Amino acid sequence: MTIKIGIAGYGNLGKGVECAIRHNPDLELSAVFTRRDPESITLLTPGVNVYPMEEAISKKDSIDVMILCGGSAVDLPVQTPLLARHFNVVDSFDTHARIPQHFEAVDEAAKEGNKVGIISVGWDPGMFSLNRLYGESILPGGHDYTFWGRGVSQGHSDAIRRIEGVKDARQYTIPVEEALEAVRSGKNPELTTRDKHTRECFVVAEENADLNRIREEIISMPNYFADYDTTVHFISEEELHRDHRGIPHGGFVIRTGNTGWEDENSHVIEYSLKLDSNPEFTASVLTAYARAAYRLNQEGQSGCKTVLDVAPAYLSAFSGKELRGRLL
């Protein structure tokens, strides 16, 4: 028997989930839901239909888990609680400061519907959060470091596009190699924002635009660039499409700490990701957690959970016996 998956929202993440299901024979794509005209969307999977979002609830008996693929800013705060009353759900909500509030809303809805909702699944929040938890539990009193990149930041790219005279832009966040090395060496450095990351911008300007003004506006932009060493390259539209089409990302979570009666031994734990496609990787994490949501609900659980609450074996398609034989 396969676990039947619905996808709510068909952007980068939605398509990534569709691809991830193909790699997991115990899962099956049942339907996709969108707020746009379903006719305007062509799926990769043959024989699966796209329906208007309003019809989702009428399909609840044919879907075991709905994977929500909307944006964190405005879609998920509304869609996840709404659908958690009727489906087991998984989302990738990544507005870190608002996770507690989102948790409460999904918890109430999921408990009312006797469903499980797993929120903030992905890599950060998600796999990075798990590794921060393992690190601080195993080496209490140590130091925690998270570096992001090299990768595209959608928010920073959008901020550049809003500048007058800019036609298109791509922004990469890059960890500073010396800072990474200092952390890995166990020196426990105190690092400022500027010490940890640099920002590199590739900008396509409108014809006759004042390039010096655009550069100045970018590097002095508060909250986005002012606190970083930022490099700006002006390139052609063709170069942007040729060299910067992908959505790569990644990063490092490092925990350093000491053990022994006198703290005489030091340890470094490092988890790193190098992702060719941020949305496809995030979608793969969401898909594994969809399996967990289904199983937890089958066991009679309900309410909201995060990656911190789900035991790892629930993510696997293999039985406990197989996992104990192979992985321990």
Residues of this chain that interact with ligand NDP (CB under 6 A) are 9-14, 34-36, 53, 69-72, 92, 94, 122-126, 278-279, 282
Residues making up the annotated binding site are: 10-13, 34-36, 69-72, 92-94, 121-125, 148, 173, 199, 249, 278
DSSP-assigned states of every residue in 148-172: E-SEE-HHHHHHHHTSTTEEEEEEE
DSSP-assigned states of every residue in 93-156: ---GGGHHHHHHHHHHHHHHTT-EEE-S-SBTTBHHHHHHHHHHHHSTT-EEEEEE-SEE-HHH
Residues making up the annotated binding site for NADP(+) are: 10-13, 34-36, 69-72, 92-94, 121-125
Closest distance between ligand NDP and the C-beta of residue 214, in Å? 25
Closest distance between ligand NDP and the C-beta of residue 273, in Å? 10
Joined together, the tokens standing for residue 139 give 């080496």
Closest distance between ligand NDP and the C-beta of residue 114, in Å? 26
Closest distance between ligand NDP and the C-beta of residue 31, in Å? 13
User: With contact defined as beta carbons under 8 Å apart, do 184 and 209 qualify?
Assistant: no
Neighbours of 93 (CB within 10 A): 25
Gap between the Cα atoms of 228 and 225, Å rounded: 5
Joined together, the tokens standing for residue 54 give 């309003």
CB-nearer residue toward ligand NDP: 77 or 142: 77
Closest distance between ligand NDP and the C-beta of residue 126, in Å? 5
CB-nearer residue toward ligand NDP: 18 or 217: 18
CB-nearer residue toward ligand NDP: 3 or 50: 50
Gap between the Cα atoms of 244 and 66, Å rounded: 32
CB-nearer residue toward ligand NDP: 54 or 299: 54
Closest distance between ligand NDP and the C-beta of residue 99, in Å? 10
Neighbours of 100 (CB within 10 A): 8
CB-nearer residue toward ligand NDP: 139 or 290: 290
CB-nearer residue toward ligand NDP: 126 or 175: 126
Give backbone dihedrals phi and psi of 325, rounded to 5 degrees, phi first. -70, -35
Q: Which residue is nearest to ligand NDP (CB)?
A: 11
Strands of 249-259's sheet in order across: 143-148, 249-259, 265-275
Residues making up the annotated binding site for substrate are: 148, 173, 199, 249, 278
Joined together, the tokens standing for residue 297 give 């609900």
